[in-house]
Amino acid sequence: MYTNQCQQQPMCNMNACNSAGTRKCIDKAQGFQCLCKPGYSGTRCNAPMNSCQKRRQASDISGNIACRTSLGNQCVSRTGQDLFYCICIPPYQRETDTSRLAAAFRMTATNISSVAKLLPPDNCMAKVDACERVSCGSDSDSGRCMPSGDLLAFVCVCKKNEDGYPLFEGEYCEISVSQWRDWSHWSVCRPECGDSCFQARQRLCSHMDGQAYCKGADEELRACEPACRPCPNRSFAHLSGVFIKETATPLLLAVLSLFLVQLLLLTAIDWFFSPDVSSPL
């Protein structure tokens, strides 16, 4: 029966809340209340939340803070979700260690799993220098990496031997250089008449692939101390920095020998062509 009295319709039945962003609508005596889904805000849950600026819970860390946008990184909010992701630029990257990340946000808890639930979905909290992304040489003994002041660039300093010559070369110290092996012991001096008035020592050039070419001499010579007495008719000549032994015939003996040979030859020729003095006239 019509009583001539109006009845108020439930507001939730009239789509008072935005259906896309509302988790639940509650009718009240003086209106209604929209409970928003994560990522939405407003009285009617019709405003997508920018998680980079503000999270659903006031205590949650915003994306701009987690991504450290003040340092040049970027934060991208996921529409309709209480989520975001970071675009980190070197030398910053995502920190994956829960303990270090919690310490960075000044979080303390006895149970690490409870802290993990409070951490943001992404971050740019780790700072890694360029040397952590490269390797100088095929092993750790080839060279060492030196980062620049801003940690963005690097240079490989290749290992050298005790004489200061590089053992490796190339941008990443990846090329092995031919190297001299150690010198042998000096040869023995014999001060008496003999062939050992000079000492010698040698060294070998080596390379891991067998194609060895080293700069410098492979042999060194030095005079004996005290100086030895060379044998008669023996002398030493110096040629291109190397001492060599040679046999020398005295010049006088050589000249006399040549003169005698010529004299005998002339006598024989004169005798052959001269008339026989014993033949009758």
| Residues 245 and 189 placed together within one structural domain of the fold | yes
Domain assignment present for residue 209? The answer is yes
| Residues 200 and 233 placed together within one structural domain of the fold | yes
Per-10-residue mean pLDDT of the chain, 281 residues long, equals 63 84 87 85 85 82 92 88 89 86 74 71 87 78 83 84 80 81 85 68 74 75 74 46 41 58 72 57 40
Domain assignment present for residue 87? The answer is yes
Of the residues 147, 177, 207, the one at which a domain ends: 177
Domain assignment present for residue 55? The answer is no
| Residues 65 and 124 placed together within one structural domain of the fold | yes
pLDDT digits (tens, 9 = 90+) for 164-221: 778 888 888 888 777 778 899 998 877 665 556 788 899 888 765 555 567 778 899 8
Domain assignment present for residue 54? The answer is no
Strands 154-158 and 168-169: unpaired
What b-and-e string marks burial along 262-280, b requiring 16 or more CB atoms within 10 Å of the CB? eeeeeeeeeeeeeeeeeee
pLDDT digits (tens, 9 = 90+) for 143-168: 889 888 777 788 999 988 777 778 88
Domain assignment present for residue 274? The answer is no
Domain assignment present for residue 124? The answer is yes
The CATH number given to whatever domain includes residue 16 is: 2.10.25.10
Q: Are 200 and 220 in contact (CB under 8 A)?
A: yes
| Residues 152 and 185 placed together within one structural domain of the fold | no
| Residues 65 and 121 placed together within one structural domain of the fold | yes
Domain count, the chain: 4
Domain assignment present for residue 269? The answer is no
| Residues 167 and 140 placed together within one structural domain of the fold | yes
Distance CA 186, CA 201 (A): 5
Domain assignment present for residue 266? The answer is no
| Residues 81 and 142 placed together within one structural domain of the fold | no
Distance CA 143, CA 156 (A): 6
What pLDDT is recorded for position 4?
62
| Residues 43 and 64 placed together within one structural domain of the fold | no
What pLDDT is recorded for position 258?
64
| Residues 234 and 191 placed together within one structural domain of the fold | yes
> What's the whole-model pTM score?
0.43
| Domain membership of residue 65 as a residue range | 60-128
Distance CA 191, CA 186 (A): 15
